[in-house]
Amino acid sequence: MLSSGPIRRAIRQEGNKLIVSFDHVGSGLVSGNGEPLAHFALAGEDGRYQWAQAEIVGNEVAVWNDNLANPVSVRYAWADNPDFANLYNKEGLPASPFELSVAPSKEESKVAGQQATQDARTNQGATAGQQLSAVDPTNDPFKDFKTELMWEAKVKIGQMKVVGESKRGVRRVIPITGGSFSGPNMKGEVLPGGEDWQLVRPDGDTELYARYLLRTHDGHTLQVLNQALMHTDPQSKVFYCKSVLDIEAPENSPYDALNHAIFLGTLTMPQLTAGEEPYVVIGVYKVL
């Protein structure tokens, strides 16, 4: 028996279309209401999203907009209450909201290629008698490191308050004003009243310490502590942001298992359209 609806797995570009593949398709993908697929949007390299057409092709979905020749990103059900989202599997379970982009930028690919070349040269220069690592790679406990998507959250944020210079850097606070979250097995709302305390260090990196509450669709309240690091490489301009989360759930609730696991997070700052309320997208993953 399937435990969830379709979850986005991968994306590729074919001409002016983006093709999305899925896990948890069960017996196949369908439109939940028999109507054409809805609530898909595409963006080009300028990051501006516009509504798109979509159709099911086997266990994949093709998405396109006739006015967009080179789409690079796709969103599905990317709203607080996506009433018209209708992608399901035949078992009757709805697809989770998602945002996906195609291959990394040319600059990112260039940096990755340079690093791979350097790694190859380093390995070629090592002789058989040299010990490259103090750790035996055959006993690496993390070689099969895996994670599981728990949810993606659209977190609305208010105006930044700059506290000022401190002995460790510039302190600032961003209020969390609301939002929503959705995953394979749970969904709900981000409650207003949380805050993201930030420290901009002298080296340019930013440390984040966010604390806020989630309310699940069945009425349980979860506390989230999210500690993150943001860094932009000065040469490649590649942006990096990862986090570690502590999630506190009520004991003896359906979410008690969240108290007994380690969680990692991602943070994305989307390109906003004119008049759109500011928000960030946080992905939460359980370490298996």
Asked if pLDDT for residue 117 goes beyond 60, the answer is no
Same domain for 258 and 170 = yes
Specify if 157 maps to a domain: yes
Query: Do 155 and 85 belong to one domain?
Result: no
Flag whether 271 is in a domain: yes
154 and 87 fall within a common domain: no
**Structural domain boundaries, residue 76:** 7-101
- Number of domains, the chain: 2
The model's pTM is 0.53
Look at residue 136 and tell me if it is in a domain: no
Note the pLDDT tens digit of each residue in 229-268: 999 888 888 889 999 999 999 999 999 999 999 999 999 8
pLDDT at 50: 87
- Domain identity same for 53 and 164: no
Whether residue 126 is predicted with pLDDT greater than 50 in this model: the reply is: no
Tell me: do 55 and 170 sit in the same domain. no
pLDDT at 132 > cutoff 50? no
Q: Is 259 in the same domain as 163?
A: yes
User: Which DSSP symbol is given to 258?
Assistant: G
Residues 37 and 87: beta-carbon distance below 8 Å: yes
51, 155: one domain: no
**For position 228, which CATH number holds?**
2.40.160.20
Provide the pairing of β-strand 53-57 with 60-64.
Answer: antiparallel
Q: What would the pLDDT profile of 52-70 be if each residue is shown by its tens digit?
A: 999 999 999 999 999 999 9
